[in-house]
Structure 1
Amino acid sequence: MSDVSRGPATGRPYLVFSDVDETLITVKSMFDFLHYQLVRRHGVAGEEEYERIMAVVRRRAGDGTPRADINRLYYGHYTDESVETIGRLAEDWFAERTASGRGFYIESTREALTAHRAGGATVVLVSGSFPPLLEPLAREVGADAVLCTRPLVADGRYTGEVETPVIGAGKAAAVLRKLESRPDVDPRDCWAYGDHVSDLPMLELVGHPVAVGEDEELRKRLAERVKEVTA
């Protein structure tokens, strides 16, 4: 991972965008939480329900279903769930996952974000996950904003529908809107962190994209981008 301790040499204000699942934390938050809450509420039956859901997800992914559609499929499982109940379960999930102090965060990314914040950057989390899981995380790492998928709510319950999933192109669109809201910031001074090639549209919007993990396609595409910029 690149050295981020100094931030942009110009001293100008800048933004840092970080994907969450397998970039900042070691788990896929949506599915880790789904398993947690189903088992906590329903025991063995919850474990069986989780395996049934995951079998469908794996089959859809294997068939080439777009990640944004899988994102929508996921939130369909919260249809008619109480927002308050899910929020309480999410706080408990986060407390349990972080209680040991080890194994939940990808420490190199967390340290990078801490260094950026110390340098005066605005830190923004960007994720296909949803607010109950991301807001405790944002508080913990000191993120200034969260751009994420937002399930629709009616009468205090999730409808099972979502606004535009913040995945792939949706992630890039959310980041672009954030950049446009900050005319004082030059995107070339900004940083972004991601772990999957689907993060590439977001990473290409900033001057300092960083690949986390071992996605060979992502690393190859970013290396090609650097060559084009420096040619």
Structure 2
Amino acid sequence: MSQVRRAAFFDVDETLITAKSMFLFLRLWLAANGDDGTLYRRQADALRATVTQGLPREVGNRAYYRNFAGAPAADVLAAGRAWYADYRRLPEAFVTSCVAALERHRAAGDTVVLVSGSFEACLAPIAEDLGADLVLCSDPQTAPDGTYTGDVGTPMIGAAKTEAVTKAIADLGVAASDCFAYGDHSSDLGMLGAVGHPVVVGDDAVLGDIADKKGWPVLPAAGGRRDDR
């Protein structure tokens, strides 16, 4: 009997890693460019304010990428690799239950896909380290000279995640009912609902209630090293 072809879709921040990659990387990037922490605090507060003000998360996502306007994309990508090389050594860097799930999917021959509002600078080294096959993420735009414009094409959040996952399922030629998705936040609900096997990570109240009602499995969000199980 031939093996059923499946895909497993993973949110990243606070799902596979315990941190918010975008905030950690922004702090590193600004510090490397002379910030004493003042600009980072101002920018981070402004980004958090978009949430407390009830604005769509896509608004904050677009605002985030304006921090890189004029920066050479190659430099940002290199800085992302340096950030992750340090981050992965932290004692509680990874959500070990979810990383273990990813590794089981890899062992089973499933296509592993990362889906995140973060961007290539942060996600490429994570994908390589964890052995992901595909990354669906926000796409900051570049000018002809190779610098970021500060604009982003599609913030990979909410409905955009759902659409990207649905398209990937079609492109991969797999059945949605056979696929898995892992997410930690209520904004991942559409992505989780697009597959036959949704899995909640952590204790988000909205997702927790839905998981209780629908019988979805819930993984703990405890952090550890990659070799912790």
TM-score where L is the length of structure 1: 0.89
Q: Which residues of 2 match residues 170-189 of structure 1 at below 5 A?
A: 170-183=160-173, 185-189=174-178
Q: What does residue 64 of structure 2 align with?
A: 74
State the one-letter code of the partner of 2:66.
Answer: G
Does 2:166 match 1:168? no
Q: What does residue 110 of structure 1 align with?
A: 99
Gaps of 5+ in 1: 1-9
Does 2:8 match 1:51? no
Deviation at 1:99, TM superposition (A): 2.9
Q: Secondary structure in 2 aligned to 1:77? A: helix
- Partner residue of 2:89 out of 99, 112, 131: 99
Deviations 1:5-35 (A, max 9, x none): xxxxx84010000000000001111111001
In the aligned structure 2, how far is the partner of 1:226 from the partner of 1:169? 23
In the aligned structure 2, how far is the partner of 1:62 from the partner of 1:52? 15
Q: Per the alignment, do residues 43 and 71 of structure 1 end up closer, same or farther by CA in structure 2, a change over 3 Å counting?
A: closer
The answer (yes or no) to whether the contact 2:50–2:59 under 8 Å persists in 1 is: no
Q: What does residue 128 of structure 2 align with?
A: 139
Runs of 4+ in 1 over 4 A off after TM superposition: none
Q: What does residue 22 of structure 1 align with?
A: 14
Q: What does residue 3 of structure 1 align with?
A: none
In the aligned structure 1, how far is the partner of 2:56 from the partner of 2:4? 38
Gaps of 5+ in 2: 217-229
State the one-letter code of the partner of 1:134.
Answer: L
Identity of aligned residues (%): 43
Q: What does residue 223 of structure 1 align with?
A: 212
The answer (yes or no) to whether the contact 2:12–2:115 under 8 Å persists in 1 is: yes
Q: What does residue 5 of structure 1 align with?
A: none
Deviation at 1:126, TM superposition (A): 0.2
Deviation at 1:226, TM superposition (A): 4.3
